[in-house]
Amino acid sequence: MVFGRNYDWITDAGMVCTNLKGLSKTSMKTENGETINWVSKYGSITFNQYGKEFPTGGMNEKGLVVELMWLDETKYPANDNRPAVGVLQWIQYQLDNCSTIEEVIATDKKIRISPTGTTPLHYLVADANGNASAIEFLNGKMVVRKGSDLSLPVLTNSTYDESVKSFRNSTPSGNNSLERFNDACKMIQQLNAGNTTKPVTDYAFDILHEVSQGDYTKWSIVYDITNKSIQFKTNRFKTIKTISFSSFDFNCTASAKVWDMNQVASGKIESLFVNFTQDINKRVVETAAKESERNVYISLENRERLWRYASAINCQ
């Protein structure tokens, strides 16, 4: 089982981080001052631009994958008695605490995403049991598509229902998001029909190439859920890099590791990871925030909160 994703954005600053289990965490305060506490149950490997603990996506050691995409139609829940977290820390919370899509869905009873000071996103989630779900927040409610409601395990930048309707009607829309959804679905159907002899990870990269958006596609990532490994390449460094979970110690007494994505490497790169430091975190956050400020503005104060946050987390 594999999960492929293109990260299409305006900055390619980024790092691959290992996240340890047994860490006691308090979420970053939202604009309303809310927090929630938890202890990470699972180690994970994530791709981060806006600070460690605030990933754009990743996989944990149980094979749970969570990835985000932009969705203009998003409307997060209004304030209620649940504590709120930001859109990126929501991903880390799931990777820390959940092993299945059902567990992810169930967290909606415990936490919500803050409706203020955030970006409109939806998520595609998969687990080692072979289940997947599209999770959206529409009209202030979590909307989940899974099982028979997720006939096409693909997500782009339109609502899942609109995307499926477009695919079934085979209507040329001129909408780039819907066209990419259609192209990916057709290639998955070819795979399921046995019309390719390529290894599934190679075919996943073929799909990602087919739906790429030129220089706007910064990273292409394939999670091998079955074998607990990750392959990825970047727009600047197109050779494929491989990371295996078995090469890392995820216990909280170990040192968290990090690797800057924008450097030359190929093949297995676990030995190239270095110990995580606040200086590395600061550099990536400052670069990503500056390069993306025309789309998402992050104040100097909040940038500092982002890069300082991880250094305050310790073993339980």
CA atoms within 13 A on the CB side of 119: 19
- The tally of domains found in the chain comes to 1
Given this model, what pLDDT does residue 168 score? Answer: 92
Query: What confidence category does residue 32 fall into, taking pLDDT thresholds of 50, 70 and 90?
Result: confident
Given this model, what pLDDT does residue 66 score? Answer: 98
Task: Supply the mean pLDDT for the chain.
Answer: 96
Average pLDDT over residues 141-163: 97
Supply the pTM of this predicted model: 0.97
Per-residue pLDDT of 34-61, as tens digits, reads 899 999 999 999 999 999 999 999 999 9
Average pLDDT over residues 281-296: 96
For residue 135, what is the domain's CATH number?
3.60.60.10
Per-residue pLDDT of 123-132, as tens digits, reads 999 999 999 9
Q: How far apart are CA 123 and CA 77, in angstroms?
A: 15
Worst-scoring range by mean pLDDT, 24-28, 115-119, 181-185?
Answer: 115-119
Q: Which residues of 42-71 are buried (b: 16+ CB within 10 A; e: fewer)?
A: bbbbbbbbbbbbbbbbbbbbbbbbbbbbeb
Q: How far apart are CA 223 and CA 314, in angstroms?
A: 28
Given this model, what pLDDT does residue 170 score? Answer: 81
Query: What confidence category does residue 203 fall into, taking pLDDT thresholds of 50, 70 and 90?
Result: very high
- Residue 104: domain span: 2-315
Given this model, what pLDDT does residue 316 score? Answer: 84
What is the percent of the chain where pLDDT is above 70? Answer: 99
Per-residue pLDDT of 167-184, as tens digits, reads 999 876 677 999 999 999
Assigned token pair, 303:
């940038």
Closest Cα partner for 3 from 165, 188, 166? 188
Assigned token pair, 1:
């089982």
Q: How far apart are CA 54 and CA 47, in angstroms?
A: 9
